[in-house]
Chain A
Amino acid sequence: MSVQEAIYTLRSVLGKENVITAKEDLICYSFDATADLPEHLPDLLVTPMTVEQVAEVIKAANRYKMPVYPRGSGTNLSGGTVPVRGGIVLSSLKMNKILEIDPDNLTATVQPGVIIQTLNNTIAPHGLIYPPDPGSMATATMGGSVAECSGGLRGLKYGVTRDYVMGLEVVLANGDIARFGGKTVKNVTAYDMVRLFTGSEGTLGIITEIIVRLIPAPETRETMFATFADLTTAGRSITEIIRSKVIPATMEIMDRVTMETVENHAQIGLPTESEAILLVEVDGIPEVVRREAATVREVITRNGGVVKTAAGDHERDQLWAARRAALPALARKRPTTILEDATVPRSKITEMLLAIQNIGRRYNLTIGTFGHAGDGNLHPTILTDSRDQEEMERVHRAVDEIFKAALSMGGTLTGEHGIGMAKARYLPWEYGEKGVQVLQKIKEALDPEYLLNPGKMVPCREERK
């Protein structure tokens, strides 16, 4: 009966309209954007409007021993918001105000339910940008992307979400409200709690307010498109561009499988006889951009690539359309799309691309690879059908091997999607048992009852050997 009591209590605190219990609604919260994961119905959904209401939800969760799963738009790719153990899904979408734009301190203060794109639209008239740009930026929330520490296309030059989070307000697992960080560029007060909560995947606290750093929008940019006859020369170009002291804003790669799929889907004239294409964009002040673009062209040509520069916004849009079409085109080929984000040091890009091709061949799977070559973050994308059990077995073995390959090259399990449920079982491969124990100690210090997003990242007590 505790669920009924919890519903009664929460309705009295949040109002009836903010406590949703109909099965017809809850089904829609039993999953997120991650493929190939078990679904689970929550017991209820709450949509608090204030930090005090969030604290009340957490207190009720403690009283009735119900887990809480914070959720923004549910667009993550790690299973980070699936309510695997039932309980309460806490939606941040009704806390969606931009509280302040501060052009003097170059900061914005936002509630967690603000959509990333909305923030960027709002600060554009100030000539400012918030650089983290995950593929889901038109839908993903600030709260979700801070909790998952999202990356994006501009990671190479501009870094990822954690490089922009300066301050957080957090509701802790006991219902207390705490604030860490602030608007100062320099801040070495105590442990770096802001970084601890950024990327904590909702397992340590509920983020209720975020202060982020903004930067001036680059004045100009130049976009180049290069084709390569083999992966080795593409890979060498990537490392040589960086070695030449040019850090492009983006350096994206697409392999042949991806190119062929995009071309079949959209007929935009991609050179499907090539083994790889690179999309490189440099941005900044005009003089620097001109010089850097010249260096990029020189390096690519020297390595045997064929490079073309976008003549204007229209051509730039066309080049980007090809890159943006990568995932949609791949997704249309088969019903299920498994998108991974294994990441290696950029010097190992070629090796990793070849390893993925090899794995695809060995398990007889279609794998299209594209991604952020400049920061070593690849997206091997397996096209399959979750209804075909035999094929899914092969998919799972292939995914295991992709992670093994990335780790053997000094890489990491996840460049930008997070561990969540999807990669939790691989965690010891990268951290070792001792490393995982450290995570558990941190988790238990802040959430001893495992109420916050259980089953994600940190193994629960009973799951341990």
Chain B
Amino acid sequence: MNHDFDLSAVEEEIANCMRCGNCQATCPYYQETGFESSVARGKIALAKSVLQGKIKYTPTLAERFECLTCYACNATCPCGIQIDKIFLAARAVMVRNGGSPAFKKLMAAALKNQGLLDLGLKTATLAKGLLFQPHPSGGLSPRFPLGLDLRRVVPSLSPKTFRDGMRESVTVPGAKSKVAFFTGCLVNYVYPSTGRAVVEILTKSGVSVLIPWKQHCCAAPLALNGVMDVAEQMARSQIDLFSGLDVDAVVVACGTCGESFKKKYVELLDGAPGYAGKARELAAKTCDIADFAWNVAPFNRQLLKELAMRVTYHEPCHLGRGLGVTKEPLEIIRTIPGLDFVPLREPERCCGNAGSFSFTHYDISYNILKHKLADISGTGADAVVTGCSACRMQLEDGFAQEGLGKRVFHTAELLAMSLK
């Protein structure tokens, strides 16, 4: 176990907080609650109190370290503190001391075991008529409390997962390069159309694609919630699966998954014999599909067909602030003929999904979403383009709840549509 996930390792970051409170200006969570314990300055004070022994572990304290992990505070902090590192260390300490809330334990168990997740989600597909009722929007709303808020509209699970519907290797004759595609859970189970779009873009650009069947959750839901030991095991397993492959790059279609490959595995396996070096190599190879299609293996612009739509773009936190992929999706959108692109006023503001946060804090998550919905409505766009399936789920829930009748596309889907 890497000992860096401890508050003592981030003591300097904690000491560097000058408590100016500038993080209040951009923290979406704080802006809903108005409580200092929601915002970075307050959480850092709590972390300091833990270090100084002024406060012990309590379930309430563990809850106070929860947030959207949207990195808005990092981007605002005048002292340049890596605030997320403090939060993650604090969450790891909370998990080691007293465990995380029951829901998260359940998630952790399911995500650790690919077979269980697969079976669970497939069973859910079969049992969906029992558990969910159709919502007028075309999605489903839960009939019984499943750990989901009863008001929430979730997309139908795909009857066939993306990976089940694909060959493991999609080769292009005379390919210029070969990549591995890490699909991520939501693309695999909920939005297979995104996965198909990624494969289409790559193959049309002369890139062969390998989709390792054994791949599993990237571990971000665990690492972000402080379950570091399990996350580390999963990181090792991903390294075993991906670093031996003879590929030029690993393509991802989700900012959070991308972060796991580009950052988290390196941190989790820092100094681990036989793994640290491989984790760094894998990190260097990993590339988000928007970045890849724009910079690495550019798509053929001659093939683009007109799409007559007004669209806007929502920047996922972990893709934008996390991976720094901010310009490429916009370049892609601007290149597609016929699109009327109207930017959001605050494209980089969190949509409120934040993975399990939206399960455990549905009301706050939805209130955060309302700002995004208002921003989107103001553009008059027919569809929202984004690079993250979790954001997409959140936006679709909002559109269904408010009866807005707008659609959401992954950047890859939009591009694939135009390349058809």
Q: Which residues of A contact B (CB under 8 A)?
A: 20, 22-25, 27-35, 47, 73-75, 91, 93-94, 117, 136, 138-139, 327-328, 331-332, 335-337, 385, 387
Which residues of chain B from 17 to 66 have a CB within 8 Å of any chain A CB? Answer: 18-22, 24-25, 34-37, 41-42, 45-46, 49, 54-55, 58, 60-61, 64
Q: Specify which of A75, A93, A331 is in contact with B21 (CB 8 Å cutoff).
A: A75
Q: With contacts A75-B20, A328-B79, A385-B15 known, is A28 near B46, CB below 8 A?
A: yes
Q: A388 CB to closest chain B CB, in angstroms?
A: 11
B contact face: mostly helix, strand, loop, or mixed:
helix
- Which residues of the partner chain A approach B60 to less than 8 Å between Cβ atoms? 22, 24
In the bound complex, what is the Cα–Cα distance between A25 and B18 (angstroms)? 19
The answer to whether A28 and B21 have CB atoms under 8 Å apart is no
- Which residues of the partner chain A approach B49 to less than 8 Å between Cβ atoms? 27
Q: A339 CB to closest chain B CB, in angstroms?
A: 9
Residue B363 at the A interface, CB < 8 A?
no
Q: B385 CB to closest chain A CB, in angstroms?
A: 27
- Which residues of the partner chain B approach A23 to less than 8 Å between Cβ atoms? 55
- Which residues of the partner chain A approach B58 to less than 8 Å between Cβ atoms? 24
In the bound complex, what is the Cα–Cα distance between A317 and B416 (angstroms)? 39
Which residues of chain B from 234 to 248 have a CB within 8 Å of any chain A CB? Answer: none
- Which residues of the partner chain B approach A35 to less than 8 Å between Cβ atoms? 18-19
Residue B16 at the A interface, CB < 8 A?
yes
Q: Specify which of A24, A33, A47, A387 is in contact with B20 (CB 8 Å cutoff).
A: A33
Q: Which of A139, A327, A336 has the most CB of B within 10 A?
A: A139
The answer to whether A93 and B15 have CB atoms under 8 Å apart is no
The answer to whether B37 and A24 have CB atoms under 8 Å apart is yes
Q: List 6 A-B contacts (CB under 8 A).
A: A20-B35, A24-B60, A24-B61, A28-B46, A32-B21, A387-B15
Q: With contacts A75-B21, A138-B22, A335-B15 known, is A31 near B61, CB below 8 A?
A: no
Residue B271 at the A interface, CB < 8 A?
no
- Which residues of the partner chain A approach B54 to less than 8 Å between Cβ atoms? 27
The answer to whether B22 and A336 have CB atoms under 8 Å apart is no
The answer to whether A24 and B64 have CB atoms under 8 Å apart is yes
In the complex, the 3 A-B pairs of residues with the closest C-beta atoms, listed nearest first: A328-B78, A28-B42, A28-B36
Nearest-neighbor residue (CB-CB) of A324 within chain B: B78
Known: A24-B46, A28-B45, A75-B21. 18 other contacts (CB 8 A): A24-B55, A24-B60, A24-B64, A25-B35, A29-B36, A32-B21, A33-B19, A74-B21, A75-B20, A117-B25, A139-B24, A331-B16, A331-B18, A332-B16, A335-B12, A335-B15, A337-B18, A385-B15
Residue B80 at the A interface, CB < 8 A?
yes
Nearest-neighbor residue (CB-CB) of B80 within chain A: A332
Nearest-neighbor residue (CB-CB) of B46 within chain A: A27
In the bound complex, what is the Cα–Cα distance between A47 and B58 (angstroms)? 24
In the bound complex, what is the Cα–Cα distance between A33 and B41 (angstroms)? 10
The answer to whether B35 and A73 have CB atoms under 8 Å apart is no
Q: With contacts A24-B64, A27-B49 known, is A335 near B35, CB below 8 A?
A: no
In the bound complex, what is the Cα–Cα distance between A25 and B46 (angstroms)? 9
- Which residues of the partner chain A approach B25 to less than 8 Å between Cβ atoms? 117, 138-139
In the bound complex, what is the Cα–Cα distance between A328 and B20 (angstroms)? 10
- Which residues of the partner chain A approach B45 to less than 8 Å between Cβ atoms? 27-28, 30-31
The answer to whether B18 and A139 have CB atoms under 8 Å apart is no
- Which residues of the partner chain B approach A73 to less than 8 Å between Cβ atoms? 21, 24
- Which residues of the partner chain A approach B21 to less than 8 Å between Cβ atoms? 32-33, 73-75, 136, 139
In the bound complex, what is the Cα–Cα distance between A94 and B247 (angstroms)? 55
In the bound complex, what is the Cα–Cα distance between A136 and B35 (angstroms)? 18
Nearest-neighbor residue (CB-CB) of A25 within chain B: B37
In the bound complex, what is the Cα–Cα distance between A355 and B338 (angstroms)? 65
In the bound complex, what is the Cα–Cα distance between A136 and B36 (angstroms)? 16
Q: B52 CB to closest chain A CB, in angstroms?
A: 11
Q: A441 CB to closest chain B CB, in angstroms?
A: 34
The answer to whether A139 and B22 have CB atoms under 8 Å apart is yes
The answer to whether A328 and B80 have CB atoms under 8 Å apart is yes
In the bound complex, what is the Cα–Cα distance between A136 and B19 (angstroms)? 12
The answer to whether A28 and B35 have CB atoms under 8 Å apart is yes
Q: A205 CB to closest chain B CB, in angstroms?
A: 22
- Which residues of the partner chain B approach A91 to less than 8 Å between Cβ atoms? 34
- Which residues of the partner chain B approach A74 to less than 8 Å between Cβ atoms? 21, 36
Q: Quick one: CB contact mask for B1-16 with A, threshold 8 Å, 1 for yes?
A: 0000000000010011
In the bound complex, what is the Cα–Cα distance between A327 and B80 (angstroms)? 12
In the bound complex, what is the Cα–Cα distance between A28 and B49 (angstroms)? 10
The answer to whether A32 and B19 have CB atoms under 8 Å apart is yes
Q: B364 CB to closest chain A CB, in angstroms?
A: 13
Q: A57 CB to closest chain B CB, in angstroms?
A: 17
Q: B60 CB to closest chain A CB, in angstroms?
A: 5
Nearest-neighbor residue (CB-CB) of A387 within chain B: B15
Q: Specify which of A25, A28, A327, A335 is in contact with B16 (CB 8 Å cutoff).
A: A335
Q: Quick one: CB contact mask for B347-364 with A, threshold 8 Å, 1 for yes?
A: 000000000000000000
In the bound complex, what is the Cα–Cα distance between A94 and B37 (angstroms)? 16
In the bound complex, what is the Cα–Cα distance between A368 and B64 (angstroms)? 36
In the bound complex, what is the Cα–Cα distance between A136 and B42 (angstroms)? 17
The answer to whether B80 and A31 have CB atoms under 8 Å apart is no
